[in-house]
């Protein structure tokens, strides 16, 4: 047992699956590492941390999280530096966002010691699962949900927090084509759009399926009120380069406060690019496209890092972006982020947290 504020009980696997895992074939979210972390909240407090073999767990079908969606998650990544050390990228930002989501979904706060000490103990144990090929990482999926066996509609009294790990390659293997979506919306002001709530993703599925059926990888979400302002692209934040300005929708409660989004803004500002967080309308994109000023468009997220957008379809207009190899800013951003994560570039923002 590891002694921290929350005791960590470790039950190791009898046989690791590591040697049977083909690291040249790690599609997103399909292969899980040997161990997972579990901690429960009951009687008004968090219990010990259990790190145990990754396996299905018995559960009640009356869990209120299943019925009423009191369920949130996070997405983070661990990397290996050139010297072979395991590092986390901005874990405190994910920790703080998890608790903002918890607050919005009326769930108890997760203590920092439980989150950070548990996470570090898990990553230390699973260090060899961190892939080292370019663009690959160990994806970390904290998930937190209600476990009361009760069908009344109220905030649960009991919860489970768990962390799963997946070695992953790039989320998108090609530049994405996206469809301006006006029929469905992802979020409204006063709703849960800025929380990483499971229900936000459930609400996006039908729009995504319809976009897929029309030949697009994903949708470009519009604001709920006017359906004219850009919010997100699929499950990513979205950026455009218009002329020489890097533009992204401002956070207005309906948009996820992406850690990669914030990293991109900090890198651009440090490098002296003009940056605007504001209202970005489809009209403005169309105007920039017709004037030849729409130079770049990309999604940002933990899973995708920087996902170049090849085409934005709005009604009959297909806005085709310049070839990816010609895009100065998004290519530079990807190199900067990957360089900082693997230790090749200086961590001047204090984003890297060693695990050992």
Residues of this chain that interact with ligand COI (CB under 6 A) are 75, 235, 301-303
Residue closer to ligand COI, measured from CB, 87 or 166: 166
CA 262 to chain centroid: 12
CB of 307 to ligand COI, least distance (A): 10
Residue 242: CB minimum distance to ligand COI, A: 24
Return the ∠ at Cα 115 (arms to 114 and 117), rounded to 5°: 70
**Shortest Å distance, C-beta 28 to ligand COI:** 7
Minimum gap (Å) between residue 235 Cβ and ligand COI = 4
Q: Is 31 or 227 the residue whose CB approaches ligand COI more closely?
A: 31
In angstroms, give the least distance from the CB of 78 to ligand COI.
13
Select 76 or 242, whichever has its Cβ closest to ligand COI: 76
List C-alpha distances in Å: 19 to 15, 200, 201, 239: 10, 37, 34, 40
- Count CB atoms within 10 A of the CB of residue 60: 11
CA 199 to chain centre: 15
Q: Least distance in Å: CB of 207 to ligand COI?
A: 15
Asked if 352 contacts 340 with a C-beta cutoff of 8 angstroms, the reply is: yes
Helix axes 259-270, 91-104, angle to 10 degrees: 130
Number of DSSP helices (H) and strands (E) in the chain, helices first = 8, 19
Nearer to ligand COI, 158 or 305 (CB): 305
Q: Is the separation of the CB atoms in 196 and 303 below 8 Å?
A: no
Q: Which is nearer to ligand COI, 187 or 303 (CB)?
A: 303
**Smallest separation, CB 205 to ligand COI (Å):** 12
Rounded Cα distance, 305 and 90, in Å:
13
Q: Which is nearer to ligand COI, 110 or 235 (CB)?
A: 235
Q: Which residues contact 82 (CB under 8 A, 6 or more apart)?
A: 342, 343, 344
Beta carbon nearer to ligand COI, 69 or 314: 69
């Amino acid at each position: 047992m590891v002694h921290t504020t929350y005791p960590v009980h470790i039950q190791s696997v009898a046989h690791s699956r590591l040697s049977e895992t083909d690291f040249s074939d790690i599609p997103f979210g399909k292969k899980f590492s040997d161990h997972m972390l579990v901690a429960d909240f009951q009687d008004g407090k968090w219990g010990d941390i259990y790190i145990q073999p990754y396996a299905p767990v018995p559960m009640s079908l009356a869990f209120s999280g299943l019925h009423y969606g009191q369920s949130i998650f996070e997405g983070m990544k661990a990397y290996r530096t050139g010297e072979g050390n395991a590092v986390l990228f901005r874990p405190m930002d994910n920790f703080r966002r998890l608790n903002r989501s918890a607050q919005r979904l009326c769930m108890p706060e997760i203590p920092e010691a439980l989150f950070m000490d548990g996470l570090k103990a898990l990553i230390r144990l699973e260090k060899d699962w961190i892939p080292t090929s370019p663009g690959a990482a160990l994806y970390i999926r904290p998930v937190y949900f209600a476990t009361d066996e009760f069908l009344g509609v109220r905030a649960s009294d009991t919860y489970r927090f768990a962390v799963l790990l997946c070695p992953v390659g790039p989320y998108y293997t090609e530049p994405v084509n996206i469809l301006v979506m006006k029929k469905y919306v992802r979020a409204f002001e006063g709703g849960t759009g800025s929380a990483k709530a499971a229900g936000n993703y459930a609400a996006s599925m039908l729009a995504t399926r319809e976009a897929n059926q029309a030949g697009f990888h994903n949708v470009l979400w519009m604001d709920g009120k006017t359906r004219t302002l850009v919010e997100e692209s699929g499950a990513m934040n979205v950026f455009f380069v218009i002329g020489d300005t890097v533009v992204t929708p401002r956070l207005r409660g309906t948009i996820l406060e992406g850690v990669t989004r914030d990293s991109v803004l900090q890198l651009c500002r440090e490098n002296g690019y003009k940056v605007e967080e504001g209202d970005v309308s489809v009209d403005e994109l169309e105007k920039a496209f017709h004037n030849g000023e729409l130079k770049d468009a990309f999604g940002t997220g933990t899973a995708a890092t920087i996902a170049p957008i090849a085409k934005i379809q709005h009604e009959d207009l297909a806005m085709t972006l310049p070839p990816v190899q010609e895009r100065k800013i998004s290519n530079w951003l990807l190199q900067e982020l990957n360089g900082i994560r693997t230790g090749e570039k200086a961590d001047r923002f204090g984003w890297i947290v060693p695990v050992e």
